Structure 1
Amino acid sequence: MFIATDQHRSEYPDPITFKRGTRLVVGEIYEGNEEWENWYFCTITNHSGGWVPAQLIDQNEIPGYGVANDDYTAKELDVDEGDKFQVIKCVNGWFWCQRLSDNETGWVPVKILEETEYTL
């Protein structure tokens, strides 16, 4: 189990979401926080875009385009200090996890979660 040591608020109310095989327009690579490497800003039909891990993008022969090799959503969870989570996977500085209080799933920055002993 992991516990939040700080709060986090998503800045993306309409996260990019797609299925495996979706064609992606691959834009800029994220530059900033060193803990969040290998994220590309991608767009899809009928969506303004969002950040996608490089591991999910099969680059096309045409520069700037790719195909999703897995289902994905960029949904971030709003987190309050003390929230408890079950971590499902870690990708490029973010945990995909489930909040234990309401079973909601989404991305949470690794840096605000701390592993703790599980107690009932």
Structure 2
Amino acid sequence: MEQVYIVVEDYENSNADPIQLNAGDTVKLGGKSNDEEPWANWIYCVSERTGKAGWTPVQILQMNGATGTATTDYTAEEMTVAVGDILYATKELNGWLWCLREADNQRGWVPKNCLCHAEKW
């Protein structure tokens, strides 16, 4: 279900070459985020198909020892946003929202702590 958010804190995409996984891709598993951090349930992975690395939500992986298999398509594409941007979110994972900015049709992940639900604005 789509929800409308307003950006209340600027965020700059720091991920120039994000990991992208297709369902069924195999990854090598690295370190897991600390559950005490604001971004719990992430694991650092390297795609065996592309060699790209990045943080991946544990919910989309079927893990088997030092490797995992993606159960769904996923991209770690982030979006740079500025205060006042209006975003439409369709998915939430571990403190991040997958958003569309209608003004330029750009899509990507944005940290939820940079956003305010439009109804509360």
Task: Say whether the fold is shared (TM-score over 0.5).
Answer: yes
Per-residue deviation, 1:115? 1.0
Residue type at the aligned position of 2:38: E
Indicate yes or no: 2:46 matched with 1:43: yes
Residue of structure 2 in register with 1:23 after alignment = 26
Q: Which blocks of at least 5 consecutive residues in structure 2 are unaligned?
A: none
- Residues in 1 aligned to 2:76 and 2:46: alpha-carbon distance in whole angstroms: 12
Structure 1: gaps spanning 5 or more residues: none
- TM-score between the two structures when normalised by the length of structure 1: 0.90
Q: Deviations over 1:21-66 (max 9, x none)?
A: 0001011012387221000000013324000000011012xx1101
Does 1:13 pair with 2:16?
yes
User: Which runs of at least 4 in structure 1 moved beyond 3 Å after TM superposition?
Assistant: none
Partner AA of 1:39 in structure 2: W
Determine the C-alpha separation between the residues in 1 that align with 2:61 and 2:94.
Answer: 14
Distance 1:17 1:95 in 2: 17
- Name the aligned partner's letter for residue 27 of structure 2: L
Tell me, yes or no, if the aligned pair for 2:18 and 2:52 is still in contact at 8 Å: no
- 1:80 maps to what in 2? 82
Residues 66-111 of structure 1, C-alpha deviations (whole Å, 9 max, x = no match): 1000000000001111111001011000001111211211100000
What RMSD in Å do the two structures reach over aligned CA positions? 1.4
Q: Does 1:53 align with 2:57?
A: yes
Structure 1: how far apart are the matches of 2:32 and 2:8?
28
Percent of matched pairs sharing the same residue: 36
TM-score between the two structures when normalised by the length of structure 2: 0.89
Residues of 1 paired with 2:78 and 2:55: CA distance? 11
